[in-house]
Structure 1
Amino acid sequence: MANGAPITARDLFLSRDLTEAEAHGYLAAHGFRDPATADELLQQLADDLPTRLALGELADLLIETLTEAADPDAAVAGFCRYVANRFPKSSFIGYLQDDPRTLQILTALLGASPLLGDILIRNPEHLHWLHRELDCPPPDLADYQAELNQLLAQDADAGRRLDMLKRFQRRETLRIAGRDLLEKDTLRSTTEQLSSLADVLAEGVLRAVRTAANEAGGEAYGSFAVIGMGRLGGRELSYSPDIRLACLYDPDDPADAAAEVHFRQLTHRLTAGLSETAGAGYRVEHGLQPPGSRAGGALTLEQGVRYCERAAGTDERLALINMRPIAGDPALARRFLERVRPIVFGARPDPTALDARNVRTGPAGSREVELFTRRLRLLHGARHPDLQDANTLAALAQLAASGLVAATVAEPLAEAYSFLRRLEHRLQIGGDGQAAVLPEDPAEVEIAARRMGFATSADLESALASHRSVVKEHCAGG
């Protein structure tokens, strides 16, 4: 500045002597990647004298909170968009001056997530609601169900109900993510809230589409239930819009072909409603889909049970572990789960898929090295033809020679892979020709150790642990 005084945040709005270059330098020094754009946005916001004066008073606190955000550039852009929608702007800025916590909440969310910024800008009043909610315990499923009932009681029209659910979803996403970002809740609490929200949205959409069907003169045809699967079923949903559902029905008259059509249409409308409700949209995947199923995602109770009976492989049964009712007729859902849980959990798991002592498919087994190498061959094979016909050991050597993988990674991986394959072969030679599982019987482990050239089983297991640690470090689960 002309007078040589140090630049302050207030000068960005109130100094006549501050040059653009000085303003940009000040903002760059405070962590803005694009200081010119940040300055331009702030100056556009200060387009009247009351707003400029209010920003000058807030400036020190504003720059401090913006630079504390995860992305200061996103935070300043969101802040300017948000404040531009508050009238009068100067009064709202004065409110932020009096309530620094609200400013901190606002900039933290705007700098962390474009989605949350869009929700706040579309619904400015949600900021004050969220401020209050941060001091309350997080809602549980019963709280969400009570809110859903209160919401749906306001209007019986199916279309307007779907619009209300869409607004409800946006507001609750803001609450959950806000509490998460501001570290009010544990990971478990956050995933349970996200799951509970999906539960009540599924129930709300189902009620709305059934109301629409009833208004059109449709019949009930029987009972209908929605089962949550995967992360939703385990109450560990993330912010990803992907959810997995199984839709089941029990027709009043199994011989009535119209029932299948009805429940196929109901499932389609439920899926469409959930996609619309979640803003960007839940991406709904339908589970329990046997080959040749014609019901568009909906299965009869008996079809669902038969599917589970045929899911004999461990991988298939793993996909069925997390199942729970989330919407529709709870009695039908309970009948289904009572019949399939003994199927899912009753059979002995395939040891080749689950046994930690499996040196091929178990944790940090030889298969992880193979998958690691195959992915790199797929990624680089077009430019390095030598990788196209290579086996695992040859590929590791070629990857190192080409500089695609450090020798300090490729060489110990090759040693670990060779050890695991040798052990697998020794186990197969001494067993049924297919086994890759280290025996549990200490005497048999001693024999396997001697086959590998070790004096004791302890020496073998120590070497195995060492090589597995290499695989775990470099292959990250395959």
Structure 2
Amino acid sequence: MKTTVALSELQSSPLRSLSKADEKSARSALKDFAAQAPELGQALAKNSTLADFLAATFSLSPFLRDTAFADPAMLARAVTEPLDRNLDGLCRRARQAWKPSEGAEGPVTEQALMASLRRLKREAALTLGLADLAGVASAAETTAWLSDVAEASLAAAIDFLLLGLDDAGKITLPDRANPSQGSGLIVLGMGKLGARELNYSSDIDIVLFFEPDARVLKDPGDGADLFSKMARRLIRIMQERTGDGYVFRTDLRLRPDPGSTPLAIPVEAALNYYEGRGQNWERAAFIKARPVAGDLEAGQQFCRELVPFVFRKYLDYAAIADIHSIKRQIHAHRGFGDIAVKGHNVKLGRGGIREIEFFVQTQQLIAGGRMPALRGRRTDEMLQALVQARWIDAETADTLTEAYWYLRDIEHRIQIVGDEQSHTLPETEAELKRIAYLAGHKDTKVFAADFTRRLKTVEHHYAELFEHESHLSGEAGNLVFTGEDDDPDTMATLKRLGFDKPSEIAKIIRTWHYGRYRATQSAEARERLTELTPELLTAFGRTRRADEALLRFDSFLSGLPSGIQLFSLLGQNPGLLSLIVTIMSSAPRLADIIARKPHVFDGMLDPSLLAELPTRDYLKQRLDAFLLGNFAYEEILDRLRIVASEQRFLIGVRLLTGAITGARAGRALTDLADLILETTLRAVEAEVASVHGKVPGQRVALLGMGKLGSHEMTAGSDIDLLLIYDHDAEADESDGKKPIDPPRYFARLTQRLIAALSAPTAEGVLYEVDLRLRPSGNKGPVATRINAFAKYQREEAWTWEHMALTRARTVAGDESLRADVDTIVAEIIAERLDRAKIASDVLEMRKLMDQEKPPKSNWDLKLIPGGLVDIEFMAQHLALVEAFPDGAERPTTTADVLAALGSRKLKADDLKTVLAALSLETELSQMMRLCLDGDFDPAEAPAGLIDQLCRTAELPDLKTLEADLKRQAKQVRTIMLGLLNADIVQATAAHSKG
């Protein structure tokens, strides 16, 4: 219902001033404003009640006073214009804020959009706040108008951002005049925004999905990255505080699995998630979901497709337990346990708003599948729908509806004081009096009686729905850790949760409670950890070998310098808690890293961690930012160690959570190594030059070999390197204060480089370095001049050295020398040496490895017959005997070489088998190297890691996985032998004919 009344027509003032001084100050200011805004002056002159009301309002609400006093013209409009016309205009202007005004030069800038939306939100808040307090607008109307303002602002920001992407050539919009239409970008409003029930200081909860097939994206595979970056800009536009304030705080954490998914998710992936893994709390959340911006038609279709997930066909009493357990957790928080007035949380406390919402939502979840009328979004409307469905009686509905809007009114009064996101009544009598007056009561005693009566009514109805269900009593059971003696009921609870040694677990938790770690020394930290403990124990208890996982978490806590921020985040972010539990239960190596180096954990607190792919550019930005400034040589090396350990850890976290594949992790770890090598080489060259100067014409390049060269590094890889140099032919010594001859100069530079990379310091080791692939191996010089390198490779190198060269690429150093080295490598590989000899040498080498370095177990995926070495040897053999396509860049990864050349020598099915085996063995190897420092032994491995490996292979259990690996390996070994023996026969026959 829209309100056509203007405040200037106010007949009586429902408010009284908090103090005479405040009222006097407000009246004086109003008199000054009347001179600046004639319409306001006229209204005040005609209606003394209006002046009384405004003076009282500004004495009670510093937020409304400061907002009004900042712009008298805005106050005049709020007072004199009919409410609906004023707010309709504000919403219309907000919705069109992305469009340039008539006569404007150029498009709207982001700064201009942000300023415009903030001013409009501020005016809407003032207008609605005054109308609400005057009784001109009801709480239902106020929340609906606030939602309309948020929706218009969101839609404008989305249109602006989509148009920007189109301008940048990253997408192609079907209609630039209506950017969102047909864009396939879905923006759903959740919670109070979805239900059009926003309060003054609400966050707006939204989720973003996109339809890759909407033909807007030039490459559908770029959608998650592109729209996730756009989502981050959207958050900035909406919530960054500027001189004009903010629009609405914006939260995207209601998306599927927020700890491991990008900010924008493809529609199909989202639907698959909800159908397969969606939780009851997510079902409850989606009751209120509706399209608020972006492609509204696509959004409506998405919501229709989610109906079977949200509203089950059959009665769903099981959902009550989940919802009720959330309520029990809320009650467990300090201050929420009893009905009170001072300090009572109107939203979460007993008898509060959340109990009414739960009352409605649980019954919607139970019966909405059979009764479409129970699928609405608004709490008050659904209370009446429950009556029509004969689910509750009319008296209950009316009582709860009245209590709901009364409590929403009180919530608004709390927030309108200082525009703070609070739901808690003040603790002091003076501040409680402010709320009482804002609510229209004559004193706090009358207010307290009214307030507690509503709370008790709500609690009574809520208790009838939930508390009489005996099977819903405490899910966790007793968890008491006071004193030194074990509580028997707590021991039983811990055992039931999944812990084998409950007494030891209790001892650990008492250590937390007693503040024996730095992270738990403050009372606030201990309180937050105590509140979190039931959730932590439940989460760890779900893992197999829960005791081990919790011990690792305890080791992590013991090394933290502070815990308040972490415990708060874990309590508010289920995704982060889930990630911690995953690490502790699956990855002892990562758990050990964060226990020894807690700073690596900081990166996990970045909300964009799992949304951002660890590309080379992404890693370079992080590295450059950390090295910004002038640092001494040792400082540079220490900072490199810090950033390298953090980024290796975060790449591992992405792999562990499934945000990236093992192959992508290998690429990221290699990109990181490349960047570290570039920076380290520059620092080492400068350090050596500071003492010995430079050799005239000096050029240095690093040739990456092995997994570094092939972009296939794992979490535990060392780096195979060769330093190649060149200088002027006539140069006989360097030009520094301590000149030395070129061979000694470049040998010393190489030794300094190895020390910089592999010498242990307080910050650890960057990389272990292996130089054994240099010409003549360990007998040769540590640095090689380019002409010697070329001569050796052409005239003396063994087949295995040419095989190694197929994976080589320059990774750092002088660009011209890198080009020369890469050319030599390409020429040598392209020489087409004796095919039969190469195949024979490969077979001989593999046979020798089988004898001298046999696999340690069937899980030694590198060395088992048919393992990674067999596949790599096939790729290296093909690279030496087959020509790459003309003009194509020479690939170095095993998969790329096989893809480019495999079809020439292998049957299609055989090639498919080899590539499938390579993919599986790579993924499993990456996961095992990430999670363990040593070899994988199924009997000793963490149960969580075994589960991770099975999930990675998409197989139900370890036994099936082992059988599948054995089958694939056997096929690969047969294919490899067939390929090499066929080449020997074919080459020998060709030679005989010749």
Q: TM-score range by the shorter chain?
A: 0.5 to 0.7
Match of residue 337 from structure 1 = 822
Match of residue 180 from structure 1 = 655
Give the structure-1-normalised TM-score.
0.67
Change (3 A) 1:335 1:59: same
Q: Distance in 2 between matches of 1:20 and 1:473?
A: 58
Secondary structure of the corresponding residue to residue 764 of structure 2: coil
Match of 1:320 among 805, 808, 811: 805
Determine if contact 1:233/1:323 at 8 Å carries over to the other structure: yes
The residue identity in structure 2 corresponding to 1:234 is: S
Matches for 1:205-224 after TM superposition, within 5 Å: 205-221=680-696, 222-224=698-700
Unaligned runs of 5+ in 2: 1-471, 516-522, 734-740, 858-904, 906-966, 978-994
Matches for 1:249-260 after TM superposition, within 5 Å: 249-253=725-729, 256=732, 258-260=741-743
2:832 aligned with 1:347: yes
Determine if contact 1:14/1:52 at 8 Å carries over to the other structure: no
Match of residue 594 from structure 2 = 120
Matches for 1:153-164 after TM superposition, within 5 Å: 153-164=628-639
Give the structure-2-normalised TM-score.
0.34
Match of residue 570 from structure 2 = 96
Q: Distance in 2 between matches of 1:113 and 1:254?
A: 56
Determine if contact 1:68/1:108 at 8 Å carries over to the other structure: no
2:581 aligned with 1:107: yes
Match of 2:552 among 54, 78, 81: 78
How big is the alpha-carbon RMSD for the aligned residues of Structure 1 and Structure 2?
4.2
Change (3 A) 1:212 1:52: closer
After TM superposition, the structure 1 stretch with the greater mean CA deviation from structure 2, 190-199 or 42-51, is 42-51
Secondary structure of the corresponding residue to residue 769 of structure 2: strand
Determine if contact 2:699/2:726 at 8 Å carries over to the other structure: yes
Match of 2:513 among 46, 51, 61: 46
Determine if contact 2:614/2:651 at 8 Å carries over to the other structure: no
Q: Distance in 1 between matches of 2:625 and 2:526?
A: 43
Match of residue 61 from structure 1 = 535
2:747 aligned with 1:264: yes
Match of residue 27 from structure 2 = none
2:620 aligned with 1:145: yes
Secondary structure of the corresponding residue to residue 805 of structure 2: coil
Change (3 A) 1:143 1:51: closer
Q: Distance in 1 between matches of 2:793 and 2:752?
A: 25
How far apart are residue 79 of structure 1 and its match? 2.3
Determine if contact 1:224/1:247 at 8 Å carries over to the other structure: yes
After TM superposition, the structure 1 stretch with the greater mean CA deviation from structure 2, 126-135 or 265-274, is 126-135
How far apart are residue 329 of structure 1 and its match? 1.1
Change (3 A) 1:117 1:233: same
Determine if contact 2:732/2:742 at 8 Å carries over to the other structure: yes
Secondary structure of the corresponding residue to residue 715 of structure 2: coil
Q: Distance in 2 between matches of 1:79 and 1:470?
A: 37
Matches for 1:218-237 after TM superposition, within 5 Å: 218-221=693-696, 222-237=698-713
The residue identity in structure 2 corresponding to 1:351 is: A
Q: Distance in 2 between matches of 1:21 and 1:254?
A: 86
How far apart are residue 14 of structure 1 and its match? 5.1
Q: Distance in 2 between matches of 1:261 and 1:71?
A: 56
Determine if contact 1:264/1:296 at 8 Å carries over to the other structure: yes
Q: Distance in 2 between matches of 1:190 and 1:109?
A: 17
Deviations 1:199-257 (A, max 9, x none): 11111111221222233352244110001111110111111232101110002246626
Match of residue 669 from structure 2 = 194
The residue identity in structure 2 corresponding to 1:339 is: I
The residue identity in structure 1 corresponding to 2:504 is: T
Determine if contact 1:234/1:322 at 8 Å carries over to the other structure: yes
Q: Distance in 2 between matches of 1:186 and 1:10?
A: 40
Determine if contact 1:176/1:194 at 8 Å carries over to the other structure: yes
How far apart are residue 24 of structure 1 and its match? 5.1
Q: Distance in 2 between matches of 1:113 and 1:291?
A: 39
The residue identity in structure 2 corresponding to 1:265 is: R
Deviations 1:265-322 (A, max 9, x none): 1111111111147834522111543339877421000111122113565433211101
Deviations 1:53-91 (A, max 9, x none): 544432332123224557634431232243455576466
Match of residue 308 from structure 1 = 793
The residue identity in structure 2 corresponding to 1:260 is: P
Determine if contact 1:263/1:298 at 8 Å carries over to the other structure: yes
Determine if contact 1:13/1:56 at 8 Å carries over to the other structure: no
The residue identity in structure 2 corresponding to 1:237 is: M
Deviations 1:116-147 (A, max 9, x none): 33443455464353242423322322333344
2:12 aligned with 1:12: no
Secondary structure of the corresponding residue to residue 319 of structure 1: helix
The residue identity in structure 1 corresponding to 2:514 is: D
The residue identity in structure 2 corresponding to 1:244 is: D
Secondary structure of the corresponding residue to residue 120 of structure 1: helix
Match of residue 603 from structure 2 = 129
| Structure with bigger RCO (C-alpha 8 Å, 6+ apart) | 1
Change (3 A) 1:74 1:345: farther
Secondary structure of the corresponding residue to residue 645 of structure 2: helix
The residue identity in structure 2 corresponding to 1:43 is: R
Determine if contact 1:13/1:52 at 8 Å carries over to the other structure: no
Determine if contact 2:508/2:554 at 8 Å carries over to the other structure: yes
Determine if contact 1:245/1:286 at 8 Å carries over to the other structure: yes
Change (3 A) 1:474 1:335: closer
Determine if contact 1:314/1:349 at 8 Å carries over to the other structure: no
How far apart are residue 106 of structure 1 and its match? 2.1
The residue identity in structure 2 corresponding to 1:228 is: G
**Which structure has the bigger radius of gyration?**
2
Change (3 A) 1:46 1:273: same
Change (3 A) 1:302 1:184: same
Change (3 A) 1:58 1:295: same
How far apart are residue 470 of structure 1 and its match? 12
Change (3 A) 1:65 1:374: closer
How far apart are residue 189 of structure 1 and its match? 1.1
Determine if contact 2:641/2:765 at 8 Å carries over to the other structure: no
The residue identity in structure 1 corresponding to 2:812 is: A
How far apart are residue 114 of structure 1 and its match? 4.1
Deviations 1:423-452 (A, max 9, x none): xxxxxxxxxxxxxxxxx9xxxxxxxxxxxx
Q: Distance in 2 between matches of 1:171 and 1:471?
A: 35
Deviations 1:311-346 (A, max 9, x none): 565433211101111111122121022123222232
Change (3 A) 1:310 1:58: same
Change (3 A) 1:123 1:343: closer
Q: Distance in 2 between matches of 1:148 and 1:97?
A: 31
Q: Distance in 1 between matches of 2:742 and 2:656?
A: 46
Match of residue 284 from structure 1 = 769
After TM superposition, the structure 1 stretch with the greater mean CA deviation from structure 2, 186-195 or 90-99, is 90-99
Secondary structure of the corresponding residue to residue 111 of structure 1: helix
Change (3 A) 1:246 1:103: same
Q: Distance in 1 between matches of 2:843 and 2:495?
A: 51
Q: Distance in 1 between matches of 2:707 and 2:968?
A: 30
Q: Distance in 1 between matches of 2:529 and 2:742?
A: 64
Secondary structure of the corresponding residue to residue 66 of structure 1: helix
